[in-house]
Structure 1
């Protein structure tokens, strides 16, 4: 049996909408982009959405739209995909890391205040693996210290904190639609906000800095080519029309993994859910036992047809971050522990019970061989 790590969920609806765009002759800056944005606004009940060509582009525009500049500091998590901090470096802003919770893997909100200095301008929260950060406490801190909040919700569409969607708490929030995400556009991202000034700035920056009126070849600021094509947006429209079904499938798949791990008494730990949170499952990460060699486990799983990946390396231990920020091993021990022991199992919308059973039984057999 061959089981990939992820697989996009594409139906005839996506194919039809893409075909419609291809037949229209209007592949960029057309109606489908705005339709995709409107679907997002309606889903989140938020005022403005700006589609872009990636989550990273949207994060960069978020930093730029807030006017963050060299010398400023932003508090964020080291346990994330590197883009969440790279977007700060693009503008010369210094990421200031705080460690994470070991069970939910999100930023430890109790460590934020100690990291605030007179240079701190914002908090960039990462809803890693689709688990929300404690937005109640984080927004309280931000309000008391007059800090902006950027939500990296790239992995958390549909997740909630106390019933409120991630992406609706901060000044700016960002989502991403790479093929391994809950929903996909192939490549793509979305910036959302309730602030009209930020919205107009984001629209301008994604399209070469053109004027708010989108006048031809009138450029009011330095901008970028971060546009999303109508072909990609067409896929997004279809995926948004199916979003609840997509999230339900992933919740069911996660529940099946939980049950199988418990049934077979597999000596691993899966992502825990805070009582105030609902998870939108991006991947299915587990923590392997301390005594296990993760590389050997991955290699043996691969031999059996099961694709896995480690998620995530700690950003502060990437070589260029160590050079730039003088960070080192031991600075953020929880993040480092998660990085050393984490493993993402195959996880996608239409994964079957048979495939998941094979994954868990194969994993258990390998762990037993290693004495776990």
Structure 2
């Protein structure tokens, strides 16, 4: 068996769209970009969408456009992909880590206010694994303390919180389209904002510092080459037209895993339902019961790998990463650290078959039996 951890869902429609762009005279900043941005903004329900070269680039530009820089602090969960924290460091600001809730694995709103200082400018909210964070509480705190809110929705396209799409709450929101995401453009990202002023800054920053009124060799601010190609945008536009089908397929796979894995007390399943929320399934991450250690988890990963099953640990907390060992304000984050030692991402993609799910469970059970 050889079951990958993830697999993109590309059809003839995406291939035809790429061919059409290749036969045109516009490979950058053209009609496909406009279409992709328009479809995305409409789907999320936010006025402005700006396509960029990656989710990481989007996080970087969102922070820049909001004026966050040296001497500022940004609150962020440690249990996340490292890009959310790296972008804070790109602008010279300091990440202030807070712990997560055990059930949702999202940042714990009850811990935010204790982390706020006179230097705090923003909260980066990560919708972990496609489950929306508790936005009402977070937004109320942000309003009380005059803080920006940036949604890292890179894992959460289509997720909903109290009837609104993830990515529609903050001053800016960022999505990503790496091949393991719900929709993909190969590489790519999107920044959304309700603010016309922020959109203007984002468009200039992604395009070498040119405002739309500038000519090609006039650069009003220092910017970056964070554009997304017409080829990638064409793929993204087709994927957006298929988004509901894609999300439905992923939900079906998650439900099959739930039915197959339910009842095994050695593992904790990801939440299937949360009141007021609709989950967008990005990955399927289980965690071992808390009687097991990181060494047990690693033994299970090794056994699954030897059986030809793609799997991974999600996530190693950022504050424990070597790159962040020198932070001044380090703290113990017990939930992040405990969860980070026991998580396992199982193979998860749109067309994962019932037989593959059965095989994954059989091999997982065998690996867990070996721990006893």
TM-score of the superposed pair, with normalisation by structure 1: 0.97
Aligned to 1:332: 333
Deviations 1:183-215 (A, max 9, x none): 000000000011000000000000000123252
Distance of 2:356 and 2:25 partners within structure 1:
41
Please give the root-mean-square deviation of Cα atoms over the aligned residues, in Å: 1.1
Q: Is the 8 A contact 1:317 1:327 kept in 2?
A: no
- Stretch of structure 1 that moved more, 308-317 or 26-35: 26-35
Q: Is the 8 A contact 2:214 2:220 kept in 1?
A: no
Q: Is the 8 A contact 1:49 1:192 kept in 2?
A: yes
Distance of 2:54 and 2:83 partners within structure 1:
11
Aligned to 2:269: 270
Aligned to 1:366: 367
Match of 1:316 among 314, 319, 330: 319
Q: Is the 8 A contact 1:74 1:122 kept in 2?
A: yes
Alignment of 1:203-352 (within 5 A): 203-262=203-262, 265=264, 267-272=266-271, 273-289=273-289, 290-291=291-292, 293-325=296-328, 327=330, 331-352=332-353
Alignment of 1:124-135 (within 5 A): 124-135=124-135
TM-score of the superposed pair, with normalisation by structure 2: 0.97
Runs of 5+ unmatched residues, structure 1: none
Distance of 1:324 and 1:74 partners within structure 2:
13
Q: CA shift at 1:25, angstroms?
A: 2.9
SS in 1 for 2:96: strand
Distance of 1:21 and 1:357 partners within structure 2:
41
Aligned to 1:100: 100
Deviations 1:340-365 (A, max 9, x none): 00010000011111111110111011
Deviations 1:237-261 (A, max 9, x none): 1100000000001111111111001
Aligned to 1:357: 358
Deviations 1:264-303 (A, max 9, x none): x362111224212111111000001333612221111111
Q: Is the 8 A contact 2:36 2:237 kept in 1?
A: yes
Deviations 1:109-152 (A, max 9, x none): 11101111111111110011001110011011111111110000
Alignment of 1:12-161 (within 5 A): 12-161=12-161
Aligned to 1:176: 176
Equivalent residue pairs, number: 368
- Stretch of structure 1 that moved more, 292-301 or 152-161: 292-301
Distance of 2:268 and 2:320 partners within structure 1:
24
Q: Is the 8 A contact 2:96 2:329 kept in 1?
A: no
SS in 1 for 2:192: strand
Deviations 1:140-171 (A, max 9, x none): 11111111100000000001111111100000
Q: CA shift at 1:325, angstroms?
A: 3.2
Deviations 1:307-341 (A, max 9, x none): 1000001000111212133536xx10100111100
Distance of 2:97 and 2:370 partners within structure 1:
38
Distance of 1:231 and 1:121 partners within structure 2:
36
Distance of 2:44 and 2:214 partners within structure 1:
26
Distance of 2:226 and 2:216 partners within structure 1:
17
Q: Is the 8 A contact 1:210 1:219 kept in 2?
A: yes
Distance of 1:11 and 1:118 partners within structure 2:
51
SS in 1 for 2:327: helix
- Stretch of structure 1 that moved more, 313-322 or 292-301: 292-301
